[in-house]
């Protein structure tokens, strides 16, 4: 053990600094989403962000508290929520998702630090239940006119039927099937090249397509000690092991790399499951929490009615985090039992 002379001072890292760095780490993913899907993705990001910030300010005013939008927590929720939505998601539905994410997922519990669930996933879960067709309507990436025209469903008026985009999809990319790689694999048995998933050359939610970009942005936070690297590592390891075990039972199970790089697993593991409020802090609890999320994600993907399961897996992990933390308390120094009181 190395001893140093005083003063033993460290640079303080407050909540705002951490949150600001998380926002910075998400900006490249947002920029790639706009590059990939055009002005519809940009409009969705701006609409959801405005909805989240206005909702945060509204609930702060109603509660007689200072407006807290300057701590960047609502901005993080907005960006993560928008990145989990289809790029052509109607803007008014995105605004509803932002209101639910902040109002129901955060403010109703008392604000930052008191929410048991990831607010962005609460908003995503609500719109998945309320707007099941819109949340599963996909558009091709890198459409030729994406910077000069909106995806037809983007500007759908509230409570009206969105226009059919099948013709638009076919005109944009002749071979586009209207499904994500997970959907094509699960329901049609069509596999997407792993390299396309790794680099972001496939369709999907606005921010889930490029695994390598998400890993790079996550590594920035981990190196700055602003994210617990054990959680994404544990989730991805658990997902890989679970997939490999199912492959022993059924050789038709998709490959480990396909499962890791497709869908929202990478974005969820790096930026959502690592939410400091909804995840355990005990050393053993972190690994159990991560293993649970990875396992449940793969089980839902393979045997559930939906092609994706990471959202439900993380929400389940959030719900069980207090229990996991309570049963994995390390033994107090000088006592024989775990977490025993003196």
| Residue 328 near residue 286 (C-beta atoms within 8 A) | no
From residue 215, alpha-carbon distances to 25, 82, 87 in Å are 10, 19, 21
Residue 206: its pLDDT value, please? 84
Could you tell me which residues are beta bridge partners of residue 331?
338
Query: What is the pLDDT at residue 1?
Result: 44
Q: Delimit the domains of the chain by residue range.
A: 16-137+139-172, 179-327
pTM of structure: 0.89
pLDDT of the residue at 316: 96
Q: What is the DSSP string of 100-137?
A: HHHHTTTGGGTSTTT-SS-HHHHHHHHHHHH-TTGGG-
Query: pLDDT at position 201, please?
Result: 81
Tokens 């003063």 found at: 7
CA dist., res. 232 & res. 312, Å (int): 16
Instruction: Please provide the DSSP assignment of 240-253 as one string.
Output: HHHHHHHHHH-TTS
From first to last of the 342 residues of the chain, give the pLDDT tens digit: 444 544 444 556 777 888 999 999 999 999 999 999 999 999 999 999 999 999 999 999 998 888 888 889 999 999 999 999 999 999 999 999 999 999 999 999 888 888 899 999 999 999 999 999 889 888 888 888 889 999 888 998 887 777 666 655 555 554 454 567 887 777 777 778 888 888 888 777 888 888 999 999 999 999 999 999 999 999 999 999 999 999 999 988 899 999 999 889 999 999 999 998 889 999 999 999 999 999 999 999 999 888 888 999 999 999 999 999 999 988 766 665 555 554
| Tokens encoding 312 | 């439900």
Under DSSP, the state recorded for 270 is I
Q: What is the distance between the alpha carbons of residues 305 and 93, in angstroms, rounded to a whole number?
A: 24
Both tokens of 131, joined, read: 């707007």
Q: Which pLDDT belongs to residue 168? A: 54
CA 290 to chain centre: 14
CA 210 to chain centre: 13
């Amino acid at each position: 053990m190395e001893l140093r002379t005083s003063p033993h001072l460290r640079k303080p890292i407050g909540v705002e600094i951490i949150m600001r760095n998380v926002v910075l780490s998400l900006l490249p993913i947002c920029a790639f989403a706009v590059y990939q899907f055009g002005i519809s993705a940009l409009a969705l990001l701006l609409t959801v962000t405005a909805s989240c910030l206005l909702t945060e300010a509204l609930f702060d005013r109603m509660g007689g508290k200072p407006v807290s939008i300057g701590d960047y927590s609502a901005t993080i929720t907005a960006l993560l929520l928008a990145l989990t939505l289809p790029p052509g998601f109607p803007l008014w539905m995105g605004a509803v998702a932002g209101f639910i994410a902040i109002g129901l997922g955060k403010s109703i519990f008392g604000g930052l630090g008191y929410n048991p669930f990831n607010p962005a996933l609460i908003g995503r879960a609500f719109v998945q239940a309320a707007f099941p067709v819109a949340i599963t309507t996909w558009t091709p990436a890198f459409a030729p006119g994406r910077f000069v025209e909106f995806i037809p469903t983007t500007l759908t008026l509230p409570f009206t039927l969105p226009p059919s985009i099948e013709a638009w999809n076919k005109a944009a990319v002749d071979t586009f099937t209207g499904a994500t790689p997970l959907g094509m694999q699960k329901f049609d048995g069509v596999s997407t090249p792993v390299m396309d998933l790794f680099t972001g050359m496939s369709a999907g939610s606005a921010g889930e397509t490029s695994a390598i970009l998400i890993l790079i942005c996550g590594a920035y936070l981990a190196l700055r000690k602003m994210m617990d690297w054990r959680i994404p590592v544990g989730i991805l390891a658990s997902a890989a092991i679970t997939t490999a075990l199912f492959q022993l039972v059924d050789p038709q199970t998709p490959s480990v790399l396909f499962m890791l790089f497709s869908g929202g697993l990478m974005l969820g593991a790096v930026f959502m499951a690592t939410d400091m409020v909804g995840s355990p802090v005990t050393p053993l609890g972190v690994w159990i929490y991560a293993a649970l999320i990875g396992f449940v994600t793969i089980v839902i993907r393979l045997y559930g009615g939906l092609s994706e399961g990471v959202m439900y897996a993380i929400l389940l992990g959030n719900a069980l985090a207090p229990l996991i933390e309570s049963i994995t308390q390390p033994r107090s120094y000088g006592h024989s039992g775990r977490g025993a009181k003196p």
